[in-house]
């Protein structure tokens, strides 16, 4: 999805509805629910990690205490139940019943009481759940900056007029992208530059043609806002960008060979190979989601083509 604002006072257009009264969480929630591309939240990974650290400390202390008690029970005097705790869970659990025969060394319930303390409040289960949740949170992709900017523009007073007056009012403006997560992050099919170009093309379409063809939403949370579907303008914009990527991929090798063909000096040829190879790898990084391994492999193959051409023309 992509949102865009109309310009006020455009001649020839019907008058715009009045700006809605200031809204808050309810209007913001409705918009995020209907346009999940702008559902951007703070990650709070540091708070999740801090909670895990306290769970870890608490369980570690209990683990040390349990290990000490288990060792003491194993080394207890002959003839006491304590020596059997490591082999017999029933005797360990019955230790809380007290000394049956009045022998103070007969039973020692501290090991089982510590185990019950570990179980209390399902500490281990909560720690496991917190660990799983933390793993999920830190692995949710961050939003693209265009998603955050779309949300901030939508909240403007001349659009949906949403304002949060509490401490969280500036959370999207103040946070770094790495501190945010997106419910619908970029698909990963395009590089950063490609995603930026798609957004610019959609905005260009909106200000030139789209605002004349697409109606705004009637609800307050769609005031002065047009939402473009992934199957419409965004799909066309992405197709244009990908066609440009394919053109660059075709032109760079051919251009490199043509330039090398015109050069006689070997040092000039080597410098040309370096320049075209650097341009090719930069294009891969910016225009595609290729991994560093793929970038190295493709760059090596590209430079090999140019080197082979130079060797065959000597």
My answer on whether 61 and 126 are in the same domain is yes
- 127 & 70 share domain: yes
Angle between helices 192-205 and 233-262 (to 10 degrees): 120
Residue at 263 is within a domain: yes
Using CB atoms within 10 Å of the CB of residue 185, give its burial: 0 to 12 exposed, 13 to 18 middle, 19+ buried.
middle
Beta strands in 39-120 (DSSP E): 40-42
Domain count, the chain: 3
pTM of the model: 0.60
Q: Which domain holds residue 198?
A: 2-11+39-43+140-228
| Ramachandran area for residue 2 (φ above 0: left; ψ -120 to 50: alpha; else beta) | beta
**Do 119 and 157 fall into the same domain?**
no
The residue count of the chain comes to 314
Q: What is the pLDDT of residues 171-186, one digit of tens each?
A: 999 999 999 999 887 6
228-247 per-position pLDDT tens digit: 666 677 777 778 877 887 88
- With respect to residue 19, please indicate whether it lies within any of the assigned structural domains: no
* Closest residue by Cα to residue 169 from 184, 152, 181: 152
More confident residue, 3 or 295: 295
User: Taking the C-alpha atoms of 223, 225, 226 and 228 in order, what is their torsion angle to the nearest 10 degrees?
Assistant: -130
Backbone angles phi, psi at 61, to 5 degrees: -60, -45
Q: Is residue 34 part of a domain?
A: no
Domain boundary among 109, 137, 165: 137
Q: Considering 228, 253, 286, which residue would you say is the last residue of a domain?
A: 228
Residues 109-130 have pLDDT tens digits of 899 999 988 887 556 667 778 8
Q: Are residues 222 and 264 in the same domain?
A: no
């Amino acid at each position: 999805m992509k949102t865009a604002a109309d310009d006020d006072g455009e001649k020839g257009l019907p008058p715009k509805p009045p700006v809605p009264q200031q809204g808050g969480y309810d209007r913001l929630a409705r918009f995020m629910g209907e346009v999940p591309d702008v559902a951007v939240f703070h990650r709070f990974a540091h708070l999740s990690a801090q909670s895990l650290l306290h769970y870890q400390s608490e369980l570690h202390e209990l683990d040390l205490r349990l290990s000490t008690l288990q060792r003491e029970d194993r080394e207890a005097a002959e003839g006491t139940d304590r020596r059997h705790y490591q082999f017999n869970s029933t005797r360990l659990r019955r230790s809380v019943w007290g000394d049956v025969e009045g022998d103070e060394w007969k039973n020692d319930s501290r090991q089982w009481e510590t185990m019950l303390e570990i179980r209390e409040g399902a500490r281990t289960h909560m720690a496991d759940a917190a660990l799983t949740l933390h793993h999920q949170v830190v692995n949710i992709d961050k939003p693209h900056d265009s998603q955050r900017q779309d949300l901030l523009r939508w909240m403007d007073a001349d659009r949906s007029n949403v304002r949060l007056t509490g401490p969280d009012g500036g959370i999207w403006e103040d946070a770094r992208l790495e501190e945010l997560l997106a419910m619908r992050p970029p698909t990963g099919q395009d590089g950063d530059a490609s995603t930026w170009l798609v957004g610019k093309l959609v905005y260009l379409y909106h200000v030139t043609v789209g605002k004349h063809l697409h109606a705004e939403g009637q609800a307050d949370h769609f005031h002065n806002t047009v939402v473009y579907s992934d199957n419409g303008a965004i799909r066309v914009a992405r197709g244009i960008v990908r066609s440009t990527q394919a053109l660059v991929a075709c032109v760079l090798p051919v251009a490199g060979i043509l330039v090398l063909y015109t050069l006689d000096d070997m040092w000039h040829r080597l410098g040309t190979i370096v320049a075209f190879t650097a341009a090719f790898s930069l294009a891969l990084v910016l225009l595609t989601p290729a991994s560093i391994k793929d970038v190295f492999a493709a760059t090596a193959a590209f430079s090999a083509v140019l080197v082979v051409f130079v060797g065959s023309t000597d």
